[in-house]
Structures are given as structure tokens and as C-alpha cells.
Amino acid sequence: MSLKPGVYEIITASGSIYELSVGINSMLRRLPGARRMHQSMDGAQIQIMRRDEEHVTVLSVEQLEIGKSAQFVLDLREDGIPTFRYTSEVMEISRIGDRRSDFSFI
């Protein structure tokens, strides 16, 4: 999947916000439970995942589309061995431009 360089905010049905910075060194940060869960997730609990709220290297974005699970390939372990991360249903994708957000190293 090809995205224009910049910073994107992705909101999922679980209420998590993903900040995706696309550029030479693409990075992703997950903020679990930052928003209210969508009604389709009624009764679900917030899942805590390894390296939540940290910036992790994105090796590729396999799928990013509203109404579907986002699929990222990440270097969570920082050893080049990929980790596949699948989200709950994507509810919103907003390009927040070239704003640096917390990605001060980009």
C-alpha cells in the first residue's frame, strides 16, 4: 500500500488511536482506549499490546481502509524479525499533514 508522506491518525472500533508517520523511516504509535469504543465492540475490553504508546518502526502497511482491519508489519523487537499487527475495524483515517506530532525525529 502506498501512502503520501505525512502523519495520519487512525481511529479503530476498539477506541484505539494509531499515529502513523509515513516517510523515509515510517513509525507507528498505538494509544489504546484513547476514544470511546464503537457500539459494535460492546462488551469488549481494551487489549494492552507490547510497546503500546511507543514509536515502532513500520516495515510495511499491508492494508489500511475504513471498514476493515488495518494490517501493519512492524519491527517491534528491533531485530529485523517482523511482527504482524492487526487492528479492529478502522472507523476513521485523517491525514494530519506534515505536522511532526510526537515524531520529533522525522
> What integer is the mean pLDDT of 87-100?
80
- 102 within domain boundaries: no
Residue 1 vs residue 86, higher pLDDT: 86
Q: Is residue 100 part of a domain?
A: no
Q: Encode pLDDT of 31-43 as tens digits.
A: 987 766 566 656 6
* Structural domain boundaries enclosing 56: 6-95
Provide the number of structural domains found in the chain.
1
Q: What is the pLDDT of residue 75?
A: 95
The average confidence (pLDDT) of the chain is 83
Q: What are phi and psi of 95, to 5 degrees?
A: -85, 120
Average pLDDT over residues 47-69: 91
Band of residue 52 on the pLDDT scale cut at 50, 70, 90: confident
Q: Do the domain assignments include residue 1?
A: no
Within a domain: residue 83?
yes
Confidence of residue 96 (pLDDT cuts 50, 70, 90): confident
Quote the CA–CA distance of 37 and 87 in Å, as a whole number: 13
Element (H, E) at 7: strand 6-12
Domain presence at residue 21:
yes
